[in-house]
Chain A
Amino acid sequence: DAGVIQSPRHEVTEMGQEVTLRCKPISGHDYLFWYRQTMMRGLELLIYFNNNVPIDDSGMPEDRFSAKMPNASFSTLKIQPSEPRDSAVYFCASSSYEQYFGPGTRLTVT
């Protein structure tokens, strides 16, 4: 298996623009997690899904953030509008007991 796939790997955008991050989990995994990592706040869980259903979105920072999982092989994390403080590395992970992380998307909002 190719592992968890995230795209894009790097994203640079201007404040106010919409940003969409994509994730393809490992086939057969029933959980999908979105994390954000910054120097100041460390690793934060934003939201997670079980069998495509959002279970806990309490980590989503505000209404500008939304996540979807339309099917078992695809998920998106959208930020609209983006702000400079959203700059971070965003990780997707999938699991069937053990979590496997993708390589991350480094987002820079100027």
Chain B
Amino acid sequence: GDSVTQMEGPVTLSEEAFLTINCTYTATGYPSLFWYVQYPGEGLQLLLKATKADDKGSNKGFEATYRKETTSFHLEKGSVQVSDSAVYFCALSDGDTDKLIFGTGTRLQVFP
């Protein structure tokens, strides 16, 4: 079945460092891909999305490109801030329903 694999956390960075969180997927069809972010004590929030190959989703300085050839959707940010500390979830939807398959989440900790 469809699945999402994320890099293990926590990822620990200093403020203004470059961020990459790896995400790869397995899917039989042509899924849409998403990144969600969960701040402490809150629900998940949609961060960005891409619906087809080579699409780039972007929001709040974060970017991710839908790479069909490598089945990847890595999350990047050029300069992280302490306020970016959160758990990041990669997810895919099969397109037939709105159901999402989530990765296990990657905790990001940014220190001043």
Seen from chain A, the residues whose Cβ lies within 8 Å of a Cβ on chain B are 4, 30-31, 33, 42-43, 45, 48, 50, 55-56, 91, 93, 95-104
Would you call A91 and B105 a contact (CB within 8 A)? no
CB distance from A1 to the nearest CB of B (A): 15
A contacts with B: majority SS: strand
CA–CA, A91 and B102, complex, Å: 14
The answer to whether B46 and A33 touch across the interface, beta carbons within 8 angstroms, is: no
Contact A101:B44 (CB < 8 A) given known A43-B89, A96-B98: yes
Q: Which residues of B, 29-65, contact A by the 8 Å Cβ criterion?
A: 34, 36, 42-46, 49
User: Does the CB pair B43–A91 fall under 8 Å?
Assistant: yes
Other CB < 8 Å A-B pairs besides A98-B34, A99-B44, 9 of them? Answer: A31-B99, A33-B98, A43-B89, A91-B43, A91-B44, A97-B98, A98-B98, A99-B46, A104-B42
Q: Contact check, B98 vs A42: say whether CB atoms are below 8 A apart.
A: no
